[in-house]
Amino acid sequence: MSSRAVHTSQQAPLLFIVSAPSGTGKTSLCNEVLRRVPSLSFSISHTTRAARPGETPGSDYYFISQDEFQQHIAQQKMAEWTKIYGNCYGTAVDTIQRLFAGGADILFDIDERGARQLTEKYPDAATILILPPTLDELKKRPMERGTEDTESLSRRLKRAQNEIQTMAWYRYVVINDRFEDAVTALTSIIIAERCKKTHAIIDTVLNNGKQREK
């Protein structure tokens, strides 16, 4: 895909915050979109949970200890963070700064509480909620994955139900029924956000590709 228009290359990176209840297939969806959409980087979170089979440290997550995470919070090194079933998850300020310096747009896979914290700092961030076609669908995938016992699965389902209700404020919704359709929808949101009219874009065009001196 070569849809990254010339006009966006000199703008500040756009932020895409993707959240979903567990079992929605969000990780596969995000990975596919990251593979297809140029100039889009994934924000790698820090977490205190243990790595699952197949996860790569420094690629899926930065896996750190509770002590390290608490130190990061105390030293205000976290742009946002949350606690889910005793495990901490968060986005480091450093991670965001590095991504901003890289210039590509940024995709965050974080929960609703993290999304609230980030949108306070970055109100223009596009918030995207991924939903299954029905609540019942949420049971299937973790069971197929076989990584969870019944108790933790039912806790997740209860949380998912509450979470969906609290995520009503998100700007976009993508229903992950057919995977390919969901990839197209998420990709289209990213492209539409990139095409949003801003004075900076128009100025850049009028200035033959250069940003005007302030």
Interface contacts to ligand 5GP, rule CB under 6 A = 19, 22, 45, 49, 80, 82, 84, 89-91, 109-111, 113-114
Structure tokens at 202: 């128009």
Question: E-assigned strands of 112-197?
Answer: 126-131, 172-175
Residue nearest to ligand 5GP (CB): 114
Q: How far is the CB of 112 from ligand 5GP (least distance, A)?
A: 8
CB of 47 to ligand 5GP, least distance (A): 6
C-alpha span between 129 and 83 (Å, rounded): 19
* Per-residue CA distances from 45 to 14, 50, 94, 184 (Å): 18, 13, 11, 25
Q: Which residues pair with 91 in a beta bridge?
A: 80
Measured from the CB atom, the residue of 82 and 127 that comes closer to ligand 5GP is 82
Identify which of residues 89 and 172 has a Cβ nearer to ligand 5GP in the complex. 89
5 versus 51: smaller Cβ distance to ligand 5GP:
51
Nearer to ligand 5GP, 22 or 204 (CB): 22
Min. distance of Cβ 18 from ligand 5GP in angstroms?
8
Residue 29 buriedness (CB in 10 A; 0-12 / 13-18 / 19+): buried
Q: How far is the CB of 66 from ligand 5GP (least distance, A)?
A: 15
Q: Is the alpha carbon torsion for 33, 35, 39, 45 positive or negative?
A: positive
Write down the least CB distance from residue 90 to ligand 5GP, Å: 5
Closer residue to ligand 5GP, CB minimum distance, 58 or 208 = 58
